[in-house]
Structure formats: C-alpha cells, structure tokens
Amino acid sequence: MTVRTPDPNPGWLDETELTAARARLPMIYVEAIPVRLDDYGRVVEVGLLYRADTSGNFRYSFVSGRVLYMQSIRDTLMTHLEKDLGTLAMPQLPITLQPFTVAEYFPYASSSGLTDDRQHAVALCYVVPVRGDTQPRQDALDVAWMSPEQALSPEITNEFEGGRGKLVTQALAWANWGF
C-alpha cells in the first residue's frame, strides 16, 4: 500500500485475482507508526520507512500491510512490523484494537484527501512503541528515526505518497503533540 512493489502477501488470491478484487471491493489494511518512548511514555522519536525514488527524492511511508483472509489484526500488525523493522525490534502491540484513526484511501475522487492508485483501502492506524533495534530490509526500505518536531515538519510530511503525511499529525496529536 505504501510503496509500489508487488504486493508480497496475495493471501489465497493470485495476482490476477487480487487485481480483479481490488477493482470491486475495499481492502482492509493496518498501518503502524513506530515510536520510541521515554520511561514516562512520551514520544521521543518517530520511525519512518523511506527509500529514494529514481530522482533521488526521499519517499516516506509507514509500516503497512493488508489483512489477509482468516488473519487477525494483531497477527497482521506483527507480521508487517517484523518484516519492515526486523525481528529484533521488540514492538509493543496496542492493548486496545481501537485505532487512533481510520484512514480511507480511494483511487480517485477521494473524499478524505487520501489516495491510493491501486485500490480503495480502509486502514486501521496504530502507534507502536519499539524497544529493540530496527534493521534495514534487503529490498530498499530503510528506517529513519527522527524527533516528533522533524516528523511534523512540511519537509517530511510532504514527502509521503497519497496524502499520508496528515496521519503523522493525527498520530502525534493523539500522543499530545500539536502546533
């Protein structure tokens, strides 16, 4: 959802079938914004995935994954946190499934300001504290840790695809930030 690589998890559908389904059904996703907390629960750093596009510009994204058939939200979160942050990240999954927001992506005519060329998607968005080390994946996505102020700056929020930068504001507002 966040990057234009082939979907690594087609579930029980092959690529052709998944493409067909995407043209007629909304897909369910989870999105996670990794953070580092101090001992008092305050957000000290925000972890954003990024990679340079062909023009050398940075494109930021979140940990994100489609909920597969018969897979729970918590399993989906864990699978994609491990895939994008490595197995030593030690993420702390949320106690409640109540997300800080629900993001609606549309391929066109978006009423939410969020777009996804490939599909109509509904994403449950969570902030996930990470205690361990994060490791770059092989396939180009890296993790950038930055202060909340940096993460909220237009230089960063404008470099997300599909308007996702506004989810940074929403996540940090939920964590008591705001300007």
The binding site for its own copies (CB under 8 A) comprises 11-13, 17, 21, 23-28, 35, 37, 39-43, 67-75, 77-78, 92-102, 104, 106, 109, 111-112, 120, 122, 124, 127, 129, 157, 165-170, 173-179
The smaller minimum CB distance to its own copies, of residues 50 and 126, is found at 126
CA-CA distance, 25 to 169, in Å (whole number)?
28
The smaller minimum CB distance to its own copies, of residues 71 and 135, is found at 71
- Minimal distance, residue 153 CB to its own copies, in Å: 11
Helix residue spans in the chain (DSSP H):
15-22, 73-85, 148-152, 154-157, 165-174
The smaller minimum CB distance to its own copies, of residues 36 and 51, is found at 36
- Minimal distance, residue 59 CB to its own copies, in Å: 18
Of 168, 64, 39, give the one whose Cα is nearest residue 122.
Answer: 64
- Minimal distance, residue 55 CB to its own copies, in Å: 24
- Minimal distance, residue 62 CB to its own copies, in Å: 14
CA-CA distance, 179 to 172, in Å (whole number)?
10
The smaller minimum CB distance to its own copies, of residues 56 and 178, is found at 178
The residues pairing with 1 across neighbouring beta strands, listed in sequence order, are none
CA-CA distance, 170 to 179, in Å (whole number)?
12
The smaller minimum CB distance to its own copies, of residues 77 and 141, is found at 77
Backbone angles phi, psi at 33, to 5 degrees: -105, 110
- Minimal distance, residue 22 CB to its own copies, in Å: 9
The CA–CA distances, whole Å, from 50 to 20, 94, 142 equal 29, 24, 5
Q: How crowded is residue 123: how many other Cβ atoms within 10 Å of its Cβ?
A: 28
